């Protein structure tokens, strides 16, 4: 089945500069409330898919938006029934898994995910496989369609890649596999778009002229495990606070150690291990040292 550009979505205009990191805000609206296990799988998988990029996702129901905005946002509507155990899917043409609309050459900030089409595609393979957790696998597949749409939204790219989550066609086998992820070049495209948004929301970094170290921190993938402000995530500890010291020599030793817990966690998340030149390591160490002394506030992430 062909996966076309999905979701109307675009970056919101930059508001007044704030001295805190603003997460990526994802507004969602379901035509029918999905089962709890499906919803949990959608959220968990999407957070893991976006983790290597460094995006902190703040989940907000569209009905609860109440004018709250962010530096980066997406509005995703789930049309149809995201419940495998409902009746026969009501499929309307065209048979797309999701859709992104473009206006005057620009990606708009709204997405539509067609749950009935995804159900139609996956019900038979799930039955034949006799999966023990079909709701989880279905929710994971839906999250991958959402991630595909977010790639178009965040990068502004209308074209598709040959492989990975950004490819044009995603089969049932790929949606149900354990290995479908963004390719490294796709991750880098998303990180590059993340940097200016974070700099626009992080006034203190710009004032201290640490943009070189901060860019290295984001583009190398450090933020994927440790958060966009080094605040820590479920996948990596906080880098902030007193008692945290970093120097170029120690940092270089860490990056060369392929047997460390840090390396193991990065590979588990499919984060490409950074290969940095000495100048980049020096800039990164300088940023981490200042971060330890002067933590940057990070807004809480709704889970």
Determine the pLDDT at residue 145.
Answer: 97
**CB contact at 8 A, 6 and 67:** no
Q: What is the pLDDT of residue 1?
A: 34
What is the Cα Rg of the chain in Å? 20
* pLDDT on residue 142: 97
Residue of 184, 144, 146, 134 lying closest to 163 (CA atoms): 184
Number of C-beta neighbours around residue 91 at 10 A:
14
pLDDT score recorded for residue 3: 40
Domain layout of the chain by residue ranges: 24-185, 203-293
Distances (CA, A) of 250 to 131, 245, 284, 296: 46, 10, 12, 23
Angle at which helices 134-155 and 184-201 pack, to 10 degrees?
60
**Residue 129's pLDDT is what?**
85
Give the count of beta carbons closer than 10 Å to the beta carbon of residue 62.
14
Phi then psi dihedrals of residue 50, to 5 deg: -90, -15
d(CA 274, CA 92): 45
CATH superfamily of domain region 24-185: Collagenase (Catalytic Domain) (3.40.390.10)
CATH topology of domain 203-293: Cytochrome Bc1 Complex; Chain D, domain 2 (1.10.760)
What is d(CA 258, CA 196) in angstroms, rounded to the nearest whole number? 31
Query: What are all long-range contacts of 120-124, with beta carbons under 8 Å and residues at least 24 apart?
Result: 120/89, 120/91, 120/95, 121/1, 121/97, 121/172, 121/175, 122/172, 122/175, 122/176, 123/84, 123/89
Q: Along the chain (303 residues), what's the average pLDDT of each consecutive run of 10 residues?
A: 33 33 76 96 93 81 70 84 86 78 82 93 89 93 96 88 91 94 88 76 57 82 80 81 77 85 78 83 85 54 30
């Amino acid at each position: 089945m062909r996966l076309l550009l999905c979701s109307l979505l675009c970056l919101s205009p930059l508001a007044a500069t704030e001295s805190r990191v603003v997460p990526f805000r994802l507004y969602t609206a379901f035509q029918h409330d999905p089962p709890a296990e499906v919803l949990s799988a959608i959220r968990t998988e999407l957070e893991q898919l976006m983790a290597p990029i460094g995006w902190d996702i703040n989940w907000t129901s569209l009905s609860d938006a109440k004018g709250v905005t962010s530096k980066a946002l997406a509005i995703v509507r789930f049309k149809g029934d995201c419940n495998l155990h409902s009746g026969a899917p009501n499929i309307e043409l065209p048979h797309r898994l999701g859709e992104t609309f473009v206006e005057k050459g620009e990606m708009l900030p709204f997405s539509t995910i067609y749950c009935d089409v995804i159900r139609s595609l996956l019900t038979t393979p799930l039955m034949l496989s006799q999966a023990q957790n079909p709701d989880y696998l279905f929710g994971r597949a839906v999250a991958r369609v959402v991630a595909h749409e977010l790639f178009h939204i965040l990068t502004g790219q209308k074209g598709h890649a040959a492989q990975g989550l950004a490819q044009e066609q995603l089969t049932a086998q790929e949606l149900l596999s354990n290995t479908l992820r963004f390719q490294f070049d796709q991750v880098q495209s998303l990180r590059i778009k993340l940097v200016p948004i974070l700099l626009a929301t992080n006034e203190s970094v710009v004032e201290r002229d640490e943009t070189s170290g901060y860019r290295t921190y984001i583009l190398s993938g450090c933020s994927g495990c440790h958060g966009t402000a080094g605040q820590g995530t479920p996948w990596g500890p906080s880098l902030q606070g007193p008692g945290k010291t970093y120097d170029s020599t120690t940092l270089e030793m860490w990056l060369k150690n392929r047997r460390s817990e840090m390396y193991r966690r990065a590979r588990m998340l499919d984060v490409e291990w950074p290969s940095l030149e000495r100048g980049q390591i020096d800039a990164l160490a300088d940023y981490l040292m200042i971060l330890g002394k002067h933590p940057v506030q990070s807004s809480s992430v709704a889970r």
